[in-house]
Chains A and B, each alone.
Chain A
Amino acid sequence: MDYTVIIGLEVHVQLQTRTKLFCGCSTRFNPDHPNTQTCPVCLGLPGALPVLNREAFHLGMKTGLAINCEIPSFTKWDRKQYYYPDLPKAYQISQYDLPMSQNGWLEIEIDPETRETKKVGIIRAHLEEDAGKNSHDESGRGHDSKVDLNRCGTPLVEIVSEPDLRSAQEARKYLEELKLLLTYIDVSDCNMQEGSLRCDANVNLHIHQENGETIPTPIVEIKNLNSFRGVEQAIEFEVKRQWEAWQETKLSLHDVPKETRGWDADRGITLEQRGKEEAADYRYFPDPDLAPVTVTDAEREKVSSELCERPALRRNRLESEYELSAYDAAVIIDQGLAFADYFEQVAKGCQNGKQAANWVTQDVLRELKEKGLEISSFTIKPEILAALLEKVERSEITTKSARTVFQELINSEESELNAASVQSIIEDKGLAMVSDTGALEAAVQAVVAKNEKAVADFQSGKQAAVGALIGQVMREVKGADPKVVRELLIEKMS
């Protein structure tokens, strides 16, 4: 007897608008100044009314289109009603039966070896307002809970996947790909620490009986997943727990209502959530305070045209256009849009994609990580790095010298850097490749004369003997191209 893991994810993503979904209050993350970003609308004061943020709807459409959804021509707003102190109106304005986008998919790579991919279905992606934040007394002494409404009313898009994911790793991969995509198309910063991307997972098992029957175990919704690792660990835990529960109780999905469990990251376990004392009856109905939105083909096309190339496509293009390995292309894309743009500018500037990829994924990335920088604040702009690599490409300097120049560039003030910096550092340091073949030939001649044993070794077939001699020549003539030196040595010794 074995089982298949069935996972669907509900992901809430905060859209990057200046103001909230239905009022002009700031969406800035500001937990240190509670209740300073509220107004009658988001406080739910009697008499206040919501008005839809145009940009939020626009970003919602962009999101829907990026995950290959249909954008229906008519969408409306509904009230989802429940009582909680972080929800001042006691209803959340959301979308129920006519969401703004539906029936999409997201492709993920499920096996890095075979590069096998899978299209994960997306049921719907709709807009809704966020709630505020409750903080509970952790002392266990039952002190009052505190409510901060700064976040209340922030625009979210909720993306609901089909239960197409089959492992915790796939779930993580889906979430990573989704985050990459949404940051790429610039609809969200997806900052998980600040709660801009939150995830709930619906998990159950399909138990395969020996008689060929399949029995689904009760569905559990895991809440409070706020890191990629958390998603993976919580699902793994839950799969194990459900398998054990099945063996013990043999209860199926039809015997038990859907259960909500919370992920406790510290203890590494999921816990039954109390306080949901009654089966939810949200009493959805169309919000009479808001007007429906209609979308035309022209509007859909316009938003579509604003979408940049999506990460999966760009990854493929980098591989083919710049002859990169799949690994390098993935590393570049996974760093985000600005990094990929940086790479392409360098690659185009120096006319060598592979070389650009090596530098960008190694030297540049190392430097960013060490200093904790974003590519946008990196002082060596792509045109400068391209100018440097072009020198290597044209054999004007050696790769080794290029690294020296790179260090010099990093140590320079950003304001002093320009396209000419590379050349002036090369000159200052005397790193220019020696093109005076006379001097080089003389040096080679002298070294060959001094190293009779090595020459004899070489002539008896030991190719490695050349290596030691190259070093000696290089010490004599700074900036010599090792390839040329090698050729000259072999020529002389043969």
Chain B
Amino acid sequence: MSNTSATASELLAKMNSGEVSSEEITAACLEEIARRDNSINAFLSLQAETALETAREVDRKRKAGEPLGKLAGIPVALKDNICAKGATTTCASKMLEAFTPPYDAHIVEQLRAADAVLIGKTNLDEFAMGSSTENSAFKTTANPWNTKCAAGGSSGGSAAAVAAGFAPLSLGSDTGGSIRQPASFCGVVGLKPTYGRVSRYGLVAFASSLDQIGPFARDVTDAALLLETIAGKDQRDTTSLDADVPSYTKNLEQPLENLKVGYIEHLHAEGLHEDVKAATQQALEVYKSLGAELIPVELPHAKYCVATYYIIAPSEASSNLARYDGVHYGYRAKQFDNMIDMYAASRGEAFGDEVKRRIMLGTYALSSGYYDAYYLKALKVRRLIRNDFEQAFQKVDIIASPVTPTPAFEIGELVDDPLAMYLADIFTTSANLSGIPGVSVPAGMSQNKLPIGLQLLAPPLEEERLLRAARMFERETDWHRQRPE
């Protein structure tokens, strides 16, 4: 494996043996980006200089035998809705085009403490709203497997960066599938942790009760390594959980005994692609061959997930994005009549269509006279959806399903049909609504040579179980070793 296609664990081993330096790895990644990112468009900004400086410093420390962090010298890319001091954090929006946060997100502090090399900020759908990065104000990220196709979204840049050989690790955020879906499209591992497992401090909020930061990696081991670096209680995030962080890498190779894999017997998803269906079937067969018991589960309210999600997420978003009003930071219109017009003009000019759509939907759902019918109703159905999982996890250890109904769609294919785009979130939104962890692992290829992911879900705080189950599957397959041309 070359320095740009190896996993982080492989690179760490190579650095420890002196075979390669962090500076060489970082430079190789930067070269790869320079060579090919004009066709992939994974990055919105690069921190090349500081990355190389950090790499050299890590190399010096390594040589001097000084203590090193878990990710010492490994390039990591950050979705551009995660604040890093001194680097622009645009959220792929004209609104924050010039915004430079004066502070680090909690996970950025963790990464720095782990001696990771922060290489650049990746593309996303504006404010993480979307499934294709087509809603980015600046560029659309192409799928490294086929540049006509979408990388997925909203964390499309982070997924594509790992798949394309630009960085061995990256971070994204998942509000309704925004890590798992692009991971599936790009053929990498993407994990959404339990809500509260990773601090949201410094993650620009889209829907606060659903947002969660998580890792992208080339295999399960790397995802475990990155997760154990960033997880844990942070005093600055009320909703971060005060629970011990196990070493997710420690027991990873140990298969789970008497594993009970739940599956949804009747997949009613409209337009479920044959290749996706087949890949999911085959994955279940793999588990069966490993001695796992396959048990059908009922999730009676699963079909209400998308509707519930598209009330709660826009409602919270309408509130979270109200702060972008051209007063304290962000874009201010040049022409306006008065104060109120200044607000409306600034927001009208700087937000893209999808963001406006969701702000409008959310404002509507929370407004006087509609609150009970929409928002309150959705919060109640949310509990029903969570209860479904609680019951299902009485019977099974993990639940396996597709990540998305189809492999990557073509860029532009769904852009005019927001509802169709929303409906593709059918398998992913439930984990956010219920707060449970979920992972997408490479599990197949479509006939058109596009990756297909398998989603595994586990009960709250059972990331260790989730990762071990994913690793069991990964050991038996080689989908994760495949790289795009």
Name the B residues within 8 Å of A277 (CB-CB).
340
Name the A residues within 8 Å of B336 (CB-CB).
none
A266 proximal to B (CB < 8 A): no
Q: Which of A43, A147, A149, A283 contacts B367 (CB 8 A)?
A: A283
Q: Which of B235, B319, B340 contacts A283 (CB 8 A)?
A: B319
B111 to chain A, nearest CB (A): 15
Closest-by-CB residue of A relative to B99 is A46
Determine if A45 and B319 form an interchain contact, defined as CB atoms under 8 angstroms apart.
Answer: no
- Of residues 197 to 234 in B, which have CB atoms within 8 Å of A's CB atoms? 200-205, 207-209
Closest-by-CB residue of B relative to A90 is B322
Name the A residues within 8 Å of B316 (CB-CB).
285, 288
Closest-by-CB residue of A relative to B330 is A46
Name the B residues within 8 Å of A83 (CB-CB).
322, 325, 340, 343
Determine if B319 and A79 form an interchain contact, defined as CB atoms under 8 angstroms apart.
Answer: yes
Determine if A40 and B322 form an interchain contact, defined as CB atoms under 8 angstroms apart.
Answer: no
Closest-by-CB residue of B relative to A281 is B368
Determine if B204 and A46 form an interchain contact, defined as CB atoms under 8 angstroms apart.
Answer: yes
Of the candidates B103, B328, B375, the one having the most CB atoms from chain A within 10 angstroms of its own CB is B328
Determine if B238 and A289 form an interchain contact, defined as CB atoms under 8 angstroms apart.
Answer: yes
Q: Interface code B75-100, partner A: CB below 8 Å = 1, 0 otherwise?
A: 00000011100000101000010010
Determine if A290 and B238 form an interchain contact, defined as CB atoms under 8 angstroms apart.
Answer: yes
Determine if B91 and A85 form an interchain contact, defined as CB atoms under 8 angstroms apart.
Answer: no
Q: Interface code A265-298, partner B: CB below 8 Å = 1, 0 otherwise?
A: 0000000000001000101010011110000000
- Of residues 65 to 104 in A, which have CB atoms within 8 Å of B's CB atoms? 79, 81, 83, 85, 88-91
Determine if B315 and A47 form an interchain contact, defined as CB atoms under 8 angstroms apart.
Answer: no
Knowing A91-B322, A283-B366 are in contact, say whether A51-B101 is a contact too (CB < 8 A). no
Q: Interface code A340-382, partner B: CB below 8 Å = 1, 0 otherwise?
A: 0000000000000000000000000000000000000000000
A50 proximal to B (CB < 8 A): yes
A288 to B315, CA, bound (A): 11
A144 to B383, CA, bound (A): 48
B429 to chain A, nearest CB (A): 16
A338 proximal to B (CB < 8 A): no
Q: Which of B81, B82, B323 contacts A44 (CB 8 A)?
A: B323
Closest-by-CB residue of A relative to B328 is A88
Knowing A40-B102, A283-B367 are in contact, say whether A46-B319 is a contact too (CB < 8 A). no
A40 to B340, CA, bound (A): 25
B395 proximal to A (CB < 8 A): no
Determine if A289 and B208 form an interchain contact, defined as CB atoms under 8 angstroms apart.
Answer: yes
A245 proximal to B (CB < 8 A): no
Q: Which of A48, A90, A283 contacts B201 (CB 8 A)?
A: A48
Determine if B101 and A289 form an interchain contact, defined as CB atoms under 8 angstroms apart.
Answer: no
Name the A residues within 8 Å of B371 (CB-CB).
283, 285
B383 to chain A, nearest CB (A): 14
B91 to chain A, nearest CB (A): 7
Q: Which of B202, B238, B327, B339 contacts A51 (CB 8 A)?
A: B238
Q: Which of A44, A47, A51 contacts B203 (CB 8 A)?
A: A47
Name the A residues within 8 Å of B102 (CB-CB).
40, 45
A309 to chain B, nearest CB (A): 36
Determine if B101 and A47 form an interchain contact, defined as CB atoms under 8 angstroms apart.
Answer: yes
A281 to B369, CA, bound (A): 10
Knowing A47-B203, A83-B343 are in contact, say whether A291-B239 is a contact too (CB < 8 A). yes
A307 proximal to B (CB < 8 A): no
A49 proximal to B (CB < 8 A): yes
Determine if A85 and B327 form an interchain contact, defined as CB atoms under 8 angstroms apart.
Answer: yes
A242 to chain B, nearest CB (A): 27
Q: Which of B101, B208, B339 contacts A46 (CB 8 A)?
A: B101
A420 proximal to B (CB < 8 A): no
A81 to B102, CA, bound (A): 26
B236 proximal to A (CB < 8 A): yes
- Of residues 369 to 383 in B, which have CB atoms within 8 Å of A's CB atoms? 371, 375
Knowing A281-B367, A285-B375, A288-B316 are in contact, say whether A49-B201 is a contact too (CB < 8 A). yes
A408 to chain B, nearest CB (A): 57
Determine if B103 and A40 form an interchain contact, defined as CB atoms under 8 angstroms apart.
Answer: yes
A40 to B201, CA, bound (A): 10
Closest-by-CB residue of B relative to A40 is B103
B105 proximal to A (CB < 8 A): yes
A113 to chain B, nearest CB (A): 48
A456 proximal to B (CB < 8 A): no
B170 proximal to A (CB < 8 A): no
A52 proximal to B (CB < 8 A): yes
B136 proximal to A (CB < 8 A): no
Name the A residues within 8 Å of B238 (CB-CB).
49-52, 289-291
Determine if A285 and B319 form an interchain contact, defined as CB atoms under 8 angstroms apart.
Answer: yes
Name the A residues within 8 Å of B239 (CB-CB).
49, 288-289, 291
B447 to chain A, nearest CB (A): 42
Name the A residues within 8 Å of B322 (CB-CB).
81, 83, 89-91
Name the B residues within 8 Å of A291 (CB-CB).
238-239
Closest-by-CB residue of B relative to A24 is B236
A85 to B237, CA, bound (A): 26
A283 to B339, CA, bound (A): 21
A290 to B209, CA, bound (A): 10
Knowing A51-B238, A285-B319 are in contact, say whether A43-B91 is a contact too (CB < 8 A). no
A4 to chain B, nearest CB (A): 31
A24 to chain B, nearest CB (A): 10
B135 proximal to A (CB < 8 A): no
Knowing A85-B327, A147-B327, A291-B239 are in contact, say whether A46-B368 is a contact too (CB < 8 A). no
Q: Which of A47, A85, A90, A149 contacts B339 (CB 8 A)?
A: A85
Instruction: Name 21 interchain pairs, CB-CB below 8 A, sorted by A.
Output: A40-B102, A44-B328, A45-B328, A46-B91, A46-B205, A46-B329, A47-B82, A47-B101, A47-B200, A47-B201, A47-B202, A47-B204, A48-B103, A48-B201, A49-B236, A81-B319, A147-B327, A283-B366, A285-B315, A285-B375, A288-B207
**Besides the contacts A45-B328, A85-B339, A285-B371, what 14 more A-B pairs have beta carbons closer than 8 Å?**
A45-B103, A46-B323, A47-B89, A47-B101, A47-B200, A48-B201, A79-B319, A83-B325, A149-B328, A283-B367, A285-B315, A285-B366, A288-B316, A290-B238
The 3 closest A-B pairs by CB, nearest first: A90-B322, A288-B209, A288-B208
